[in-house]
Amino acid sequence: MSSHFITGTDFTAFLAGLIKEKKVVGPVAKTSRQQEKFVFAQLERAEDLRLDHDVTILPPKKEFFPTQQDLVRFDGPRREGCVAPEEKVLFGVHFYDVKALDMTDLLFKERNDDRNYTARREAATVVIANVQKVSPRAFWATVGREVQPQGHDAWLTRVTGGYVLEARTPKGEALLKYGKFSAATPAHSESARQANAEPKCPEHLNGDSVTNARKVRAAFAKEDLWKKLAEDCFSCGSCNTVCPTCYCFDVQDWWNVDQKSGARTRYWDACLTEDFAKISLGAGATENFRESRGERFRHRFMRKAAYLNEKLGGPACVGCGRCSAACTADIADPTAVINNIPEA
Amino acid sequence: MPATTPCRCATPNSAQDQKENIFLPREATIIRLEKTTEMERIFTLRLADGSQMKFEPGQILEVGLMGYGEIPLGLASSPTRTNTFDIVVRSVGRVSQAINTLGKGDTLLIRGPWGHGFPLENLRGHDLLIIAGGIGLCPTRSLIQYTLDRRQEFKRFILFYGARDPQQQLFTSDLADWRKSKDVDYHETVDKSDPTWKGNVGVITTLFSKTKIDPGTRVVICGPPIMFKFVIRELDKLGIPHENVFVDLERRMKCGVGKCGHCQMNDKYVCTDGPVFAFSEIERLEEAI
């Protein structure tokens, strides 16, 4: 690991140089309903990068697990897999989103390595940027504190007069050649440490991960509780869609107009939607293994707070607050739900 | 690929990535076809490259056609038999209806085998009771054939099979063999009789009074979701411990490889953690049975 400093002016030139050489994806502004929001998009110009973003609408997982992704293409009897590693630099990711990437990295790799995800992931360079502005629904300071972000190559922090870049892997070191970096002084490093320690979250999750996992799991049988919590649920799946750790998908085949070729494609799916666990039994009969809104709502909370903890070392939630903000009925907020479940 | 196919890939696949793509299916040729009921057809398949399909009884395949999709199916024959394997397709949706238009010599696409099958090590050397309801006979047939082929490895072999009505009975030639066989203590029932039926009428649990079952018996159950509860109640009366009871579960196993989330029950993926589970392992799971 090595620590470097770059001035504000040189930083813009560094980024411009990087963009010229590589595909760089980072947070950029997007105005939606007169509100400034942020999305991860390919950078055309260095000036477009918004390191002062609070949170992006969709998490960066879409770079490795696109909203729709061909798995197999066909043309008559010929078939071809679509594993497509693409070199890119994911620049300016908040640490909580990297924690989420660590989780999807593990989950796509374990048991049957899904190269459609992992090959893309391995081909990427990930640069964390410190959180300069906190989103109104964030609670990342109080969730899964025992888990540190792993899957990144460099960590960029804004300090007075410029940026400190800590290169943490050879891929991170390789970025240095694009800019006029100097060795960071102890004062720079101290400023960076302070900048990363500074932000406070508006929302708080009470209790530690182990206690929360236990009490959420223990509340499974409280049918009335889940029914009540999900009373206003539209089963729209927005909470799943914006979640950085959700990775469920549907697979659909489609044809080109030639009726000869086409593809098998996966699309993001959501366990809150009504048909997610439904099967056909024949003769028009069906069985839905999570038929009620309460059951589906509960499943999401079990997934986020309890089921995966052992495997991931902490909850499958990083406190980004996207679900809280995306939920039309505003019932998805993990702090509101988990804090109100009494201890087992 | 021709220009008409939109290529959304940024870079072409490496040969290694092609090989490692868990979604790329293999070809299997239809060797034999048999219409077993109005809705179900038995397909006997062989891998198109001539290699032997390696699998365990109880494992699943994703079976499909490009442009239609895939469906999860339990392997319906035993690996002890030749280099072919059987599946049964019930026409219920787009994929299964498309598959059921195919004929002998046509190609099906398969992925797998996936998942954990029946725990043969645990079953060997004991009495074995298999309880199959409806289409649950298909995956259990792989174990039935296996047991008959390696009969000396098991003690008593008892088989209960229940169908909705006589017309819904699957594998009728097998049933005729099993009725006569000395290697299996076979009992069958139908929920609803018709004039051709001379046998037992009633739900599958009515068969428990037909034979003696030792508490040390290993039990395998596969059938419609509703059946499990009632069967386990009977097994409890017989004093059979839950760790000796194995259930073969059905869920929407869309990807087959433990990723897509559709088959999840509590924290288990049925496609990879199952589809066969010891009942003792899943009875604490509220979403299982």
A213 touches B: beta carbon within 8 Å: no
Nearest to A276 among B25, B258, B262 (CB): B262
Q: Say whether both B26 and B166 belong to one domain.
A: no
Q: How many residues does chain B have?
A: 289
Residues 218-257 of A with CB under 8 A from B: 220-221, 247-256
Q: Do A110 and B258 touch (CB under 8 A)?
A: yes
CATH number, domain of B124, equals 3.40.50.80
A188 touches B: beta carbon within 8 Å: no
Q: Do B255 and A249 touch (CB under 8 A)?
A: yes
Q: Say whether both B134 and B198 belong to one domain.
A: yes
Could you give the strand order of the β-sheet that contains B185-190, starting from the edge strand earlier in sequence?
B200-201, B185-190, B157-163, B128-133, B218-222, B245-248, B276-278
Q: How far is A51 from chain B (nearest CA, A)?
A: 27
Nearest to B1 among A80, A116, A280 (CB): A80
Tell me what the mean pLDDT of segment A52-71 comes to: 97
Q: Which one of B17, B65, B272 makes the best mutation probe of the A interface by having the most chain A beta carbons within 10 Å?
A: B17
Q: How far is B125 from chain A (nearest CA, A)?
A: 31
A42 touches B: beta carbon within 8 Å: no
Number of A–B residue contacts, CB under 8 Å: 166
Q: Say whether both B100 and B177 belong to one domain.
A: no
Q: How far is A231 from chain B (nearest CA, A)?
A: 20
Average pLDDT across chain A, whole number: 95
Return the DSSP state at B19: H
Please, which pLDDT band fits residue B274 given cuts at 50, 70 and 90? very high
pLDDT of residue B67: 97
What residue in A sits closest to B9 (Cα-Cα)? A84
Nearest to A72 among B23, B224, B259 (CB): B23
pLDDT of residue B1: 42
Q: How far is A329 from chain B (nearest CA, A)?
A: 25
Q: Do A248 and B69 touch (CB under 8 A)?
A: no
pLDDT of residue B80: 93
pLDDT of residue B15: 64
pLDDT of residue B7: 43
Q: How far is B193 from chain A (nearest CA, A)?
A: 19
Residue finishing a domain among B82, B113, B144: B113
A281 touches B: beta carbon within 8 Å: yes
Q: How far is B200 from chain A (nearest CA, A)?
A: 24
A75 touches B: beta carbon within 8 Å: yes
Q: How far is B277 from chain A (nearest CA, A)?
A: 17
Q: Give the residue from A67, A27, A152 showing the smallest Cα distance to A102.
A: A152
What residue in B sits closest to A286 (Cα-Cα)? B92
Average pLDDT across chain B, whole number: 92
Q: Do A256 and B6 touch (CB under 8 A)?
A: yes
**How many domains does chain B contain in total?**
2
Residue finishing a domain among B49, B83, B113: B113
Cα separation, B206 vs A314, whole angstroms = 48
pLDDT of residue A31: 85
Residue B7 lies in a domain: no
Q: Which domain holds residue B181?
A: 120-282
Q: Say whether both B103 and B126 belong to one domain.
A: no
Which residues of B fall within a CB distance of 8 Å from A269? 260-262
What residue in A sits closest to B264 (Cα-Cα)? A277
Q: Say whether both B259 and B197 belong to one domain.
A: yes
What pLDDT digit, counting tens, does each position of A250-270 carry?
999 999 999 999 999 999 999
Tell me what the mean pLDDT of segment B79-107 comes to: 93
pLDDT of residue B4: 40
DSSP states along B204-246: GGGGGGGS---TT-EEEEES-HHHHHHHHHHHHHHT--GGGEE
Nearest to A74 among B8, B21, B66 (CB): B66
What residue in B sits closest to A256 (Cα-Cα)? B5
What residue in B sits closest to A109 (Cα-Cα)? B259
Q: Say whether both B250 and B158 belong to one domain.
A: yes
What pLDDT digit, counting tens, does each position of A76-109 carry?
999 999 998 889 999 999 999 999 999 999 999 9
Tokens of A332: 């998805």
CATH number, domain of B69, equals 2.40.30.10
Q: Helix, strand, or coil here: B15?
A: helix
Residue B9 lies in a domain: no
Q: Say whether both B101 and B34 belong to one domain.
A: yes
Domain positions in chain A are: 2-197, 209-339
Q: Say whether both B133 and B203 belong to one domain.
A: yes
Q: How far is B110 from chain A (nearest CA, A)?
A: 13
Please, which pLDDT band fits residue A285 given cuts at 50, 70 and 90? confident
Q: Say whether both B91 and B233 belong to one domain.
A: no
Q: Which one of A82, A87, A255, A290 makes the best mutation probe of the B interface by having the most chain B beta carbons within 10 Å?
A: A82
Q: Do A248 and B107 touch (CB under 8 A)?
A: no
What pLDDT digit, counting tens, does each position of B209-268 carry?
999 999 999 999 999 888 999 999 999 999 999 999 999 998 989 999 999 999 999 999
Strand B264-265 relative to strand B200-201: parallel, antiparallel, unpaired? unpaired
What residue in B sits closest to A278 (Cα-Cα)? B252
Q: Say whether both B210 and B241 belong to one domain.
A: yes
Q: Say whether both B276 and B154 belong to one domain.
A: yes
Instruction: Enter the ipTM.
Output: 0.91
Q: Do A251 and B70 touch (CB under 8 A)?
A: yes
What pLDDT digit, counting tens, does each position of A109-122 carry?
999 999 999 999 99
Residue B2 lies in a domain: no
Residue B288 lies in a domain: no
Q: Do B21 and A283 touch (CB under 8 A)?
A: no
Which residues of B fall within a CB distance of 8 Å from A70? 8-9
CB neighbour list of residue B3: distance below 8 Å, 6 or more residues apart? none
Q: Say whether both B145 and B196 belong to one domain.
A: yes
DSSP states along B53-122: PP--TT-EEEEEETTTEEEEEE--S-TTSSS-EEEEEE--SHHHHHHTT--TT-EEEEEEEESB---HHH
Q: What is the 3-state secondary structure (H, E, C) of B168-195?
A: HCCCHHHHHHHHHCCCCEEEEEECCCCC
Q: Which one of A69, A87, A279, A298 makes the best mutation probe of the B interface by having the most chain B beta carbons within 10 Å?
A: A279
Q: How far is B68 from chain A (nearest CA, A)?
A: 6
Return the DSSP state at B199: S
What residue in A sits closest to B91 (Cα-Cα)? A282
Residue finishing a domain among B56, B80, B113: B113
Q: CA B217 → CA B214, B258, B276, distances in Å? A: 6, 31, 17
Which residues of B fall within a CB distance of 8 Å from A86? 10-11
Q: What is the pTM of this model?
A: 0.93
